A = this chain, B = another copy of it.
Amino acid sequence: MGIVVMKFGGTSVANVERIQNVAAKVVAKRNAGNKVVVVASAMAGVTDKLINMLKELTTDYDLREYDQMVSTGETSNVPLLAQAIKQLGVPAMSFTGTQAGIETDNKYSKARISKIETKRLEAALDSGMVCVVAGFQGYCPESGDVTTLGRGGSDTTAVALAAALHADVCEIYTDVDGVYTADPRNVRHAKKLDVISHEEMLELSSLGAKVLVSRCVELGMNYNVDIMVLSSLEDKPGTLVTSKMGAKMAKMEKIAVSGVTSDKNQAKITLRDLPDRPGVAAEVFSALGGTNINVDMIIQNFGVDGIANISFTVSKTELPAALKTCNALAKTLGSLKIETDEDIAKVSIVGIGMKSHSGVAATMFKSLSDNNINILMISTSEIKISCIIEEKFAELAVRVLHDAFIDHGDNIG
């Protein structure tokens, strides 16, 4: 009898009626012969209400108290779901993160899972119980404090439990019905993927696709957990995120590009007139790294007349912090000029078959250029190519690339 982990987000459990719908899905899965672990988020809106009250007191709040408070959103919800399942004649029990044995470090509000002690869950599953686990939370064994896992925390709980329990699959129920080759709101012909590899999904998540946070995909990749992305509203097939070779091979032979994404949360900083001596770049990026600013693309031009220029991108949200660091640097590095550009976007193509097809990059650059879209920066990896372009072209660029690689995917290479 295999184990299935099913995760439901906040809108899926936002009121009693929806909780009952979720309970019916859970019971159907269980009655089909599976041991079932359910991971649920807080009711949509509950946690925000609590956070707003805390912010009325101060914006500089204690993160331990924040975690203790917001975790109650999930904790108060899982008993309702457990009871709804019991009403359908199936034994069920709710678990806090602590009761489910989810141990974390002590980094309040963005804790990392260190270990899952599965004994209690396994005993409950063996006794025929459906286990309903509060997502997004764990506890630090040293302090006994409740911790929360940060953005996308409930997805992370689900994949981590699936890994620890050696589940057959981790099903993530969301308000979309799977992973698409591009955002369907922008690209009308976007196709739902039946299957995608962990690596590709990780790139897509990192590059702006909202369906799964990268952290949870990374966890799935590291522990080889199959993740199925499904609609919580409709009963139809979703997208399987897997590392099973069969799935990958089938796709690799057919098309090179699995998805096209854009990300407008990008800003470019250019440092001009840097002294052109060894170690300057290291000085710049270790200062930024020291303040936990995530630098994405970097271009350094060759020094002329003893000075150099460096351009790099950060997320728009981190731009103020990055500028603060650069201004501090300017004092130690002399006559530094700092320029910023927020009107940019990153457009990317992702595909595990890319490296085995020649001409993918050339096709990408030509497609953009044919549409008068200027490329400001380029970065590549084994399975993706990203270009920084003007922000206003973001949607157009995605459509152009989707058209070039996916709608006519069989023609390239």
- Interface set of A (CB-CB < 8 Å, partner B): 16, 19-20, 50, 53-54, 56-58, 61-62, 64-66, 68-69, 72-73, 75-76, 78-80, 82-84, 86-87, 93-94, 96, 98-99, 120, 144-146
Contacts and interface: CB of A to CB of B under 8 A. Distances in A.
Given A16-B53, A16-B57, A79 B93 contact: no
A274 B66 CA distance: 64
Contacts of A64: 93
Nearest to A50: B76
Which 6 interchain pairs have the tightest Cβ spacing?
A: A65-B79, A72-B76, A69-B79, A72-B72, A16-B56, A68-B79
A68, A84, A96, A145 pick with most chain B CB within 10 angstroms: A68
A90 to B, nearest CB: 13
A80 B16 CA distance: 27
Contacts of A16: 53, 56-57
A78 B56 CA distance: 15
A124 to B, nearest CB: 12
8 contacts: A19-B57, A50-B76, A53-B80, A54-B79, A54-B80, A58-B83, A62-B82, A99-B145
B78 A68 contact: yes
Nearest to A15: B53
When all copies of this chain in the complex are counted, the total is 2
A54 B76 CA distance: 10
A66 B53 contact: no
Contacts of A62: 79, 82-83, 86
A57 B87 contact: yes
A76 B69 contact: yes
A144 B98 CA distance: 9
Given A54-B79, A57-B87, 12 more contacts: A54-B80, A57-B84, A58-B83, A62-B79, A62-B82, A65-B79, A65-B83, A66-B79, A68-B96, A69-B76, A72-B76, A96-B146
Nearest to A61: B83
A62 B79 CA distance: 9
A57 B144 contact: no
Contact of A54 (B56, B65, B83): B83
A75 B146 CA distance: 11
B76 A94 contact: no
B57 A20 contact: yes
Contacts of A68: 75, 78-79, 94, 96
A86 to B, nearest CB: 6
Contacts of A19: 57
A131 to B, nearest CB: 13
A87 B75 contact: no
